[in-house]
Structure 1
Amino acid sequence: MPIETITKAGRKRLRWTFKRVIEGERVRKAKLLPAGISAKEADELARKWEAEIYALASGTKKAVVTIGECVSAHVADKSRDWKDATKRIQILEKWGSEYAHQDAMDLHDWSKGFIGYLRASKDRNGRPKRPLTDGAIRNILAYIRASIKYAHKVGRLDADQTSRMVIPPVNNERHHYPQRKEMLELARACKHRELRAAIRIAFYSGMRRGEILRAKPTRQGYSLDTTKNGRPRIVPIHPRIAVLARRVKFTLTVKQFEEAWKRTRDAAGYPDTKFHDLRHGAASEMINGGIDLFTVGGVLGHKSVVSTQRYSHLVTDRLAAAVGRIGKKR
């Protein structure tokens, strides 16, 4: 059970290699051991892996498909179709040592331990690390879960056990709907010409930040070749932003945008307002103007009516106001 020390990405790691002839067949295996593992733990893990190899060779045990193998197959087969491929692959590679050798059919206890580690303030070597929020943890587990589901779909796994994964609940629903007054105060406080235009466009169109930065003004409206739901769409141009649509060309990077937005909201006195809230404000304005949820969802580019349901309580508020007018003199 040779254990050797190698250097990977500038750091020393332990690697296990196995070269034997079992029942007339040459078997060669090599695995990178988890970072921070002790020599004793490495020997125990190596013995376990060697026993599994002999069991497989003798036919007494079925091959284990690891999460690492599921992820590798998913990336190789499907990453070309992912709009967020670069980001997703970086995240999967970053945490690869935590799932590379984990049995993809034994997910409950592993996912609990993984969540605990991601929430921890120290890494496996006792060095300080940044604890992740439950939202970030949920995204990581969602990427891993998708890979396991794909492995089952293509026949690499006999069963899909992802329902046994523990995934922290996250409530991302926000209930802040900026009105026109807040939007104008944000725009007046903004010192950056492009961001000032983006603030108005977001409020009068309901477009997301990324959509605003890449939208192409046409006679029919803002043209978006690709959107979050994967479908192209046209967003009508409100008369109050028609001049901006003609004159403003966006050159801001995402980082520049975020930095300018933080300065703007602080200067305007709205430190907790997110740029995305302006999109919610647009939905609120449409609903309060009597527009039905289906149409609002169409303007916002929602693929499913479920996404638009977050605004259903606004419709209820408007109906309550209408009922309150019953019996009043005109």
Structure 2
Amino acid sequence: MSIWTDKKGRRHVGIMVNRRRVHRILPEDASASAAKQLEADLRAALAVAKTPRIPNDPRLTEVISLYVDHAETLRSTKTALDHARRIALWLEKYRASQARQAAAHIVKDMSGHYAAGTINRSLGTLKKSLRLAWERGLIPVDYSAHVKRLPENNARSVYLSVEQVQEIASHASESVRAAIWIALLTGARRGEICKLQAADIGEDSILIHAGNTKTLRTRTVPIVPPLRPWLKYLPLTINHEGIKSGFRRAREDAKMPDVHFHDLRHSCASILIASGCDLFTVSKILGHSSVRTTERYAHMEMGQQRTAMEKAFK
């Protein structure tokens, strides 16, 4: 057993790699996930330390270490490192030239336990590590091309009516209720809403700063009358996780367990189009990097055009 708990409630991690025994005792308040993470880190570190190097074909544990420095330049460093650590145990068995086999092994073992998107985030860290190794001359071939991501079916067609949003909001706390209506009436993402400050509210628009957006582009969103009562709650007194858990409880109490907070953003788009707004304008309000992203709502606009033509040529 590599992880156990002693009589005092402290978690222990003990592993053996290449005939080397390592034992660590975690703090008393350490969680089970922290112990598992420590085990993975120890195995990866020992594999790098004790495995002989082969010129131009390093172990993937050495290659993934290049990602650590790169992750420091990313907006979500901790999340990026978590994705990399998730596959550490698999990488011990392979070298850079075996990237294809390593990726296949990861996909085989993780499928059914993780969503395709989560697996792809981890595979993405391996791809980036291999690319960095190639760019720095550590490997003769860009093996990153050998790592193939899984197809993702992330498309959702959940569009809520105002009445449905009202039902969910009625079960939420005041702060979560404010976040719900701000999301619906601006199309802003949850992370963007969390970072809104009172100073970002103008007379007739809200400024969403580039550093707080997914596309790293500043955008302004018009303030419509129904939005004004909720602006007094900015900045919100709860964080990203507070909104997430609060919305989950509210949707379950409203008997809509399959609704996601992000569906409020899609619902904003559908309401705009139903009101006669064109795709280009919707794209600007939602802050899409391209109108092509907004084309998922084209069927709504087409339905509106069909209704108008049917009335015109009746």
The Cα of 1:314 is off from its aligned counterpart by 1.7
Report the CA distance shift for 1:326/1:233 in structure 2 as closer, same or farther (over 3 A): closer
Which residue number corresponds to residue 43 of structure 1? Answer: none
Q: Does 1:234 align with 2:217?
A: no
For structure 2, the residue ranges without an aligned partner over 5 or more in a row are 1-17, 27-37
CA distance in 1, matches of 2:262, 2:218: 20
Match of 2:46 among 32, 41, 44: 32
Which residue number corresponds to residue 288 of structure 1? Answer: 274
Match of 1:207 among 184, 188, 207: 188
CA distance in 2, matches of 1:292, 1:159: 47
CA distance in 2, matches of 1:8, 1:306: 52
Residue pair 1:105, 1:160 contacting (<8 A) in 2 also: no
Q: Does 1:88 align with 2:88?
A: no
Amino acid in structure 1 at the alignment position of 2:22? I
CA distance in 2, matches of 1:141, 1:260: 31
Match of 1:97 among 83, 89, 94: 89
Which residue number corresponds to residue 110 of structure 2? Answer: 118
CA distance in 2, matches of 1:232, 1:9: 47
The Cα of 1:167 is off from its aligned counterpart by 2.5
Q: Does 1:170 align with 2:170?
A: no
The Cα of 1:8 is off from its aligned counterpart by 5.5
Which residue number corresponds to residue 243 of structure 1? Answer: 229
Identity rate of aligned residues, in percent?
A: 26
For structure 1, the residue ranges without an aligned partner over 5 or more in a row are 17-29, 35-45, 57-61, 121-130
Residue pair 1:5, 1:12 contacting (<8 A) in 2 also: no
Which residue number corresponds to residue 22 of structure 2? Answer: 6
Amino acid in structure 2 at the alignment position of 1:32? L
Q: Does 1:266 align with 2:271?
A: no
Report the CA distance shift for 1:104/1:180 in structure 2 as closer, same or farther (over 3 A): same
The Cα of 1:248 is off from its aligned counterpart by 4.5
Residue pair 2:179, 2:243 contacting (<8 A) in 1 also: no
CA distance in 1, matches of 2:25, 2:134: 32
Which residue number corresponds to residue 73 of structure 1? Answer: 66
Computing the radius of gyration over CA atoms, which structure comes out larger, 1 or 2? Answer: 1
Secondary structure at the residue paired with 1:6?
strand
Residue pair 1:69, 1:100 contacting (<8 A) in 2 also: no
What do the CA deviations read for 1:63-106 (whole angstroms, capped 9, x no partner)?
Answer: 31333333222321x32320111111123124323214522232
Residue pair 1:222, 1:237 contacting (<8 A) in 2 also: yes
Match of 1:197 among 178, 195, 202: 178
Report the CA distance shift for 1:247/1:118 in structure 2 as closer, same or farther (over 3 A): closer
What do the CA deviations read for 1:261-287 (whole angstroms, capped 9, x no partner)?
Answer: 122112223221111101000011112
Report the CA distance shift for 1:290/1:132 in structure 2 as closer, same or farther (over 3 A): same
Report the CA distance shift for 1:288/1:224 in structure 2 as closer, same or farther (over 3 A): same
Aligned residues: 279
C-alpha RMSD over aligned residues: 2.8
- Tell me which stretches of 4 or more aligned residues in structure 1 moved more than 4 Å: 8-13
Residue pair 2:178, 2:233 contacting (<8 A) in 1 also: no
Amino acid in structure 1 at the alignment position of 2:19? I
Structure 2 length-normalised TM: 0.78
Structure 1 length-normalised TM: 0.75
